[in-house]
Structure 1
Amino acid sequence: MVTLSILPHETILEIFYHLPIRDIETLAKTFSHPITDICLPILKPLYKSRRDRKELVKAFGPFGERFPVPHGLESLDLDSPVRKTLNLSRRDVIKLPRRRHTLDLDFMRFKGNFDWLHPLPRSVVDDMASHYRGPAIVGSALDDLLASAERVGVTIPPIFIKFLQSEELQLRIPSHHAGVFHLTSGGLLRIPKARIGGRVGYAIGFLSYLIDGVMLYLEPGKDGIVSVLTDMEDECPYEVDGVNLPHEEEDCPYISQEDRDDAKAQNVPILAHGCTIELVGMDFETYLANLYYTEVLYWVCRLEADTVPGLEDYVKNMLVKKQEVPKRPKEIEELAKDARRQAIADQVE
């Protein structure tokens, strides 16, 4: 550690940039004050995210479960070809994500350029062809969004706009249940204050499924809270197939006269059908990466599709735990038999 601290500041930053954020946090907690001083600016987004998360849980309740393990992954036997595709050892056991817990990709370092979002295998592209229904931005939707954000003082993350403007990137996110990226027309939607504990917040619909929708939640200010929400209603709360669904305000008991007055003054519609909103993630890019990897896993597990770069690391960091090396003779013998069976199977292939 002493040797590290005598390196130039820029060199240390370059080294830290390639480390997982949790490792940087560990370094910051050492007794080397120069190292701590270098780490703290890097950790500011992490600490802000933790503070924001506490505030959001107060407003919305615990995080919901949006990223279940793809069907078939949790029951892979030792001889499954999927295990070979994912390069899993015989001691790698699939662990299910905890309910009510957002999946943080601490082992990844996002740079805002979507370098992790690789093209899909051809078999997945072919299966997805019938689901695609055009680019996310239609007509004046983006102009309306930017204009309404300026009116209410909301800062939209540049990476969110970048993704919605790229049809190529959108086509790289598969969906086995007909999810479609589509920016809400008409700009921001104001969430009733009573629904979020008296806070002032807005939503942008960007992904719709057959029965629910996914939104980006934003609060006013340059450093306002940003998160990802879902609305588990019987109908998507903002649009289906690119058509906004009109909902009567009476559908949501949270709307007050103050909400109506504020929405009218700001020229921002009220999210009138948002009574079952749940938190599903914090950072937009983290949400998108989880969506990408879990959806690709569906095709790998169900259809034995080819893998994509980064999927192996995702599975091993997020969904796998190592079995302890067996110590009893019977367990060792059983493991040896499994290993011999796999060796024979590999030779046959």
Structure 2
Amino acid sequence: MKAIANDIALAAQARQSQLTKPLGSLGRLEDIAIWFAGRTAQSIPKRLQPAICIFAADHGVAIEGVSAFPAEVTAQMVVNFMHGGAAISVLARENQASLNVIDVGVKHDYPNPINSQGKLFRSPVCAGTANLRVTAAMTEAQCQKAWQIGAGSALHAIENGKNLLIGGEMGIANTTAAAALICALTDHAADEIVGLGTGIELAARQHKIQVVNDALARAKAAGAHSPLDWLREVGGLEIAALAGYYTAAAEAGIPILLDGFITTAAALVAVKAKPEVADWLLASHVSQEQGHRAALAALNLTPLLDLGLRLGEGSGAALALPLLQSALTLHREMATFTEAGVAAGAM
């Protein structure tokens, strides 16, 4: 794992103290610039070149009625991503970020998009996971393959000059898998973590809590113990791919901007498996999904935004990009007191 350049972070902190503003007056924007300096080994970091990778897969637990949308929506949304009609497609264009969609296990067939935005990679491990309520979501081989697909996607982005990685997801019923993982890895009760997902009714939420409790009990009885055990038992193919994506990025020394509930669950798996991954994570926002705050707290992350979002897809992370770019531009382009001929304030 690449080490953080703490001496360079200190140099960036010193620069912040010399810029024409009262010390600390830009709040967390100053912290962001210093954070990136330590991770890019540049006291004045360059402009971010973000890559957005959306991992898509279906979930067998959808048969339990835990989502407001039918399972075929996963495939339909993959097409929507590529045609440029989804929120993340719009935000990727707005932020001039590359957009890749990686099918790691979409169950329903869909046509190859014509004149698509970004790139589609069809790498299905299988046609979605098994129903995690009654059996392991994935075999060990399936879980490992999905993880490696995610890691390969990160390395591909890095090889193409990207210096900030954003992961997103698409998979009907994946909030159920994410909730089960967060419960397993944080010891929170299901009723503290399970939310409304795509917009289910309160009565359906109670059923969803029961599904998660049943899955946790089954997996524990099956001997689940390690983070990867829990990922295989109650996770999802796209969640495994995201965990691999984050781990590979951290190992290469590339900062990661987390999105919402699902991606944070994946990051929790990655950090529990390799704690050093945590040093490379930045939380873009806290979502409206009930358990997201608990998952962020488990990672010791403070979100930049709180906009009441619950869409996923990487959308919250993409919305935070202008904020990050602004923090770094201010750090680069503001004059120092000496350069501007302005008297510095008393310390």
TM range (shorter): under 0.3
Bigger radius of gyration, 1 or 2? 1
TM-score (norm 1): 0.28
